[in-house]
Amino acid sequence: MPAKGKYFFNENDDCRISDPLYEKYRYTSQQHPLLLLLLFIAIIFWTTLIIIFFVTDEAHYHLAFIIAVCAALVIFAVMYLLLCIESLFRRWLTLFGVMIWICFLIVGYVSLFEKENDYQLWEQVPFFLFIIFTVYTMLPFGMRGAVIISVLSALSHIIVLSVMVSMTSQENKESILFQLLANAVIFLCGNLMGAFHKRQMQVASWDLYRYTLKCIQVRMKLKIEKRQQENLLLSILPAHISMEMKLAIIERLKETNDNRQMHDNNFHSLYVKRHQNVSILYADIVGFTRLASDCSPKELVVMLNELFGKFDQIAKENECMRIKILGDCYYCVSGLPVSLPVHARNCVKMGLDMCEAIKQVREATGVDINMRVGIHSGNVLCGVIGLRKWQYDVWSHDVSLANRMESAGVPGRVHITEATLNHLGKAYEVEEGNGHLRDPYLESMNIKTYLVVDPRSKQCVSNNHVPKTRVNDGLKMRASVRMTRYLESWGAARPFAHLNHRESVSSDSSSSQGRRRKEIPLCSTGHQRTSDRNSSQKGRIEEDIYDEMMSTIEGLSSTNPWCGKSDDFCGFSLIFAEPGLEKEYRTIPILKLKSYFACASLVFLCIFLIQMFIMPKTAKLGISFGIVAVIIVLILFVCFAEKCMKCCSEQRPFLRHLCAISEKVETMPLLRLPLAVITIGALLIIAIFNLTTEKSKPANFTGSNDLCATTYPFGNTTQSCVEETYYAYCCILGFIACSVFLQMSFELKVLLLSIAVTVYLIIFNTLQHKNLSFYGNSTRLFIKEPRIMTNLYLVLFYITLVLLAKQIDYYCRLDCLWKNKFKKEHEQFETMENVNRLLLENVLPAHVAAYFIGEKRNEDWYHQSYDCVCVMFASVPDFKVFYTECDVNKEGLECLRLLNEIIADFDELLLKPKFSGVEKIKTIGSTYMAAAGLSVTPGQENNQG
C-alpha cells in the first residue's frame, strides 16, 4: 500500500503512471470489467461452436478440436468466477491475460491442423485478427506487452501457414505471395487500430485519473481552508449567530444572482436575541496595568494569551461562554445559548477557580497581582451589532450591574448579588459583601451584595505559606519575565491553534491540566509543543486525503453499465438522469476527433491493398476506390486544413473560411456527425461494393452460373471463393474502422454496425446459396467452410465491437459525470468559502485572518508593534440613559436597533476610499473604537512574531 499523503501533490508535481493508486484505479475501472467482458464473449462463442458440433453430428470426426474448445470453455468459466473475487485475484490479472491468449492460440492452431494436407492461407485469419484486436483492447497488458503478443500472433499465423501451404499445396507461387501479403496487411491493420485504441484509452484513463486527483486536491484544500475559516469564526462568534449570518448572506447572494428584487427594509439586519435566567461574570486582574507597562509587546501578548487561555479552559469546564476580553478584563455568561438551571453555580465556580489560578501565579512568581470577580443573575440581550468587525456581546441593565459588582468587589474574592445568591441555594457559604460602601450606584439601587467563601480556603488554613524558595530562584528576572515563564507551563492553546484539529481543544492543553508546575521554568517548551502538534496534524490531514481519494476512485466505477440501478443514469441506455447533463455530454468537444479520421483513412488504404492483392484488377475496382479516396481526402482536408494552411489562411478568403470550419470539426456536433457518417459509410460500402457488382454479372470464362468456377482453380478451392473470403475480411476491417471513433455517439455506431452486418449477412448468404459445400470431403471442420466462417466471424466482431463501444460510452459518460460533479462541488465549496471569508473580514483584519489560515498558517502569537498610530474612541452620548427595558421597546431590543443603525452608519463611513486607512477595532457598549496607521507594509511584516 502506498504511503498515505503521497498523492497530495502540488500543482507542479507529477505522479508516475506506475503509482499503485493509479494501478488500482485502472484495474477497477477498465481492466477488470473489460476482461470479464472478453471472457463472456469467448464463453458464448465456444458454447455456440459446441452446440453447432452436436447439432450437425460432427463431434466424433473432430475430437481434438472439440476437446480444445471444451477445455478453453472450462478454463474461461473458472476465470470468470475467480475474477468476480477481484480483491483476491487482482494480482493474477496479467497471468489470466496470458492464459486467455494461449487458449485462443491453441484453439486457433488446432482448427488449422485438424486435418493433414488440408491447409488454406485464408483460414482462421479473422480469428487471429480477433486475438490481435482483443489483446490491445480487452486484455490487461501494457502497450509494449500487447505489441509483442500481437506481433507474435500475426507472425506465427503467417509463417506457419506459409510453410505448411508451400510444402503441401501445388498452388501458384504468385498467388500464395499475394494471399500472404493480404494477410499481413489485415494483421498490420488490426495491430495499428488496436494500438491506437489502446493508446487513446490509456490517455483518457490517465487524464481522468489526473483530473480526479487534482479535483480531490483542490476539494481537500477547500475543505481544510473552509474548516479553518469556520473554526476561526466560531472562535469569535457562537455557532447559532454565525449560522444565522451565513444563511442571510447566502440568501442575499441568491437574490443578487437571480436578479430578484431585494426586500425593502429601512433598517439593517439585527442579530440580537433576548435570553432570560442567565448569570453574568466580570473579572479584572488587579495590578496587571502596572505589570504590563514593564512588558515588551511579545511578552504582553504571551502573558495575556496564557492567562485568558487558562480562563477559557476554566470557562469550558464550568459551562460558561466567554463574551469578550477588554484589556485585562474578562467577562462571560452561563446559560447561553441554551438555558441552564445551574448557571449561577457555574459562574461562582468559575470565579473561584480564576481567583485560585491567579493566587498560584502570585505564589510562584512573587508578582503582586490578584483577581476581582463580580457576578449578577438576570436577563440579557446578546448578539452582534454593526456591519464590520463583529464581536459577540451582551447588553442589559443586569449586565451593567454585573460590571458594577466587579468594580466594587474585593481582590481575591467573588462578589455576588442577592439575585445570584437566590439561585445558588445553599451550595456555597457567603458573608456580607458591603458593596454599597464601595460603589454609589449599588447604594442608590439598594443592591445587597455578598462575598462567596471558597471551600478550598478552609483546607489551606493549616498549611498557609508562600513558597519563597521558588520565588527567590527567579527574583533576578523582571516580574514580566517571571510571569511569562511560569504561565507558559500552563500549556494554554495558542490563538486559533485548533483550526486544523479534529478536536476543538488541543490534547496538549487538556493533558497539561493535571500537572501544574509551580517552579519558574528557565526555558520555554512552546516551540517543541508546536512542532509535535504540526507533525500530528500533518499525519491526520494526509490520512484524510488518502481516504478521500480512495473512496472517490472506488466510486468512479461503482455504476455497472450492464445492469443495476443508478441515480445518475437511466437503465441500460446510460442516458443521464439530468437532462442538462445529457445535452452537455452530446455537445462536448472531441479533442482527438481528427485522429479518428486519420485512422479511418488508414483502414481504407488497407482495404484497397487487400483487394488489389486478391481481386481481379478491373476498371470498376479502380473507379470505386478512386471515388471513395476523393471523399476521404476531402474529409481529411477539412479536418487538417487549419494545420496545413496556416501560412495561406490570411491571404485567401476561401482558405480562411475553410480553416474556420476545420477549427469547428471537434466542437460542432452538426459538423462532425455528418463527416463521421460519410467516412464510416464509405468504408463499409467499399468493403463489399465490388463483390456485389461482380456477382451480378454472368461468368466470363466458362459461361456457367457456378460462382466457384468463374476463374482458375486455387488448390482445393477456387479464386471466387478466395475473393469472397477476403471481401468478408474487408467488411470486418470496416467494422474496426467504425470502432476507432471512440467518443462518437454510441447509438450512431450501433446503427451503422447493425445495418452493415445485416446487409453483409444477406449478401454473403445469397451469393453463396449454390455453394454450401466447397469441398468433396464431408468430414472437413465446419468452421473452415467459408460461408459458416463468414457468418460466425461477422457476428462475433459485431457483438464484440458493440459491447466494447458500450463500455467506452460508459467511460466517456463517467468522465463527463464526475467532471460535472466536481465542478458543482467546487462551486459549493467556493460559495461557502466566500461566505466565510466575508464573515471573517467583518471579524478580523484581512492580514490578521490570513496569519492563522491557509497552507502557510502560523500557530505563533500574532503581535505587531507600531511607532505611529492614531486611536479614536467615539461614544454615543447618554445612550445609557436612553436605554430602557419595557414592553414597548421589546425589553430594550428596539433601543439596540437604534444603536445598531448608528454603528452601521459609522461602518459605512469607513467603506469610503478616503477612510481606507482607518481600521475599526471594536465596539464597547455604545463606544466605537477605530485606529489609523495599522496597515501592514513589507517593512512591518518582519516585526511579526
Contact by Cβ (8 Å): 494, 860: yes
3-state DSSP assignment of residue 276: strand
Q: Identify whether the C-beta of residue 740 lies closer than 8 Å to the C-beta of residue 600.
A: yes
Q: Is the dihedral of CA 614, 618, 624, 630 positive or negative?
A: positive
Q: From CA 805, how far away is CA 754, in angstroms rounded?
A: 13
484, 297 contact by CB (below 8 A): no
Burial 25-40 (b: 16+ CB within 10 A, else e): bbbbbbbbbbbbbbbe
Is 567 labeled as catalytic in the residue annotation? no
> Chain-centre distance of CA 198, in angstroms?
26
Name the CA dihedral angle for 817, 819, 823, 829, rounded to a multiple of 10 degrees.
100
User: How far is CA 361 from each of CA 165, 286, 349, 469, 602, rounded to the nearest angstrom?
Assistant: 105, 13, 19, 15, 88
The dihedrals phi and psi of 377, each to the nearest 5 degrees, come to -115, 140
Contact 798, 753 (CB under 8 A): yes
Give, in degrees to the nearest 5, the angle at Cα 591 between 587 and 592.
120
- HEC-encoded secondary structure of 80-106: HHHHHCHHHHHHHHHHHHHHHHHHHHH
Q: Quick one: cell of 561?
A: 453499465
The three-class DSSP label of residue 562 is coil
Please state, in angstroms and rounded to a whole number, the distance separating the CA atoms of residues 884 and 899. Answer: 13
Instruction: Name the active-site residue from 132, 236, 284, 903.
Output: 284
Alpha helices (H) in 842-892, listed in sequence order: 846-852, 879-882
| From 66, 132, 285, 853, the catalytic residue | 285
Residue 447 bears catalytic tag: no
Q: How far is CA 846 from the centre of its chain?
A: 28
User: Is 312 one of the catalytic residues?
Assistant: no
| Pairing assessment for the beta strands 414-417 and 370-384 based on DSSP bridges | parallel
Dist. CA 234–CA 232, nearest whole Å: 5
Instruction: Considering the candidates 75, 131, 241, 328, report the single residue annotated as catalytic.
Output: 328
Q: Would you call 272 helix, strand, or coil by DSSP?
A: strand
273: cell is 436575541
CB atoms within 10 A of CB 793: 22
The answer to whether 120 and 715 have CB atoms below 8 angstroms apart is yes
Q: Are strands 370-384 and 393-395 parallel, antiparallel or unpaired?
A: antiparallel
Q: Find the distance separating the first CA and the last CA of the chain, reported in whole Å.
A: 41
- CA–CA distances in Å: residue 857 to residues 191, 666, 829: 55, 45, 20
The full DSSP string for 685-697 is: HHHHHHHHHHHTS
The amino acid occupying position 690 is N
In contact, 342 and 277? CB cutoff 8 Å: no
The DSSP secondary-structure symbol of 566 reads: -
Catalytic residue annotation: 284-285, 328
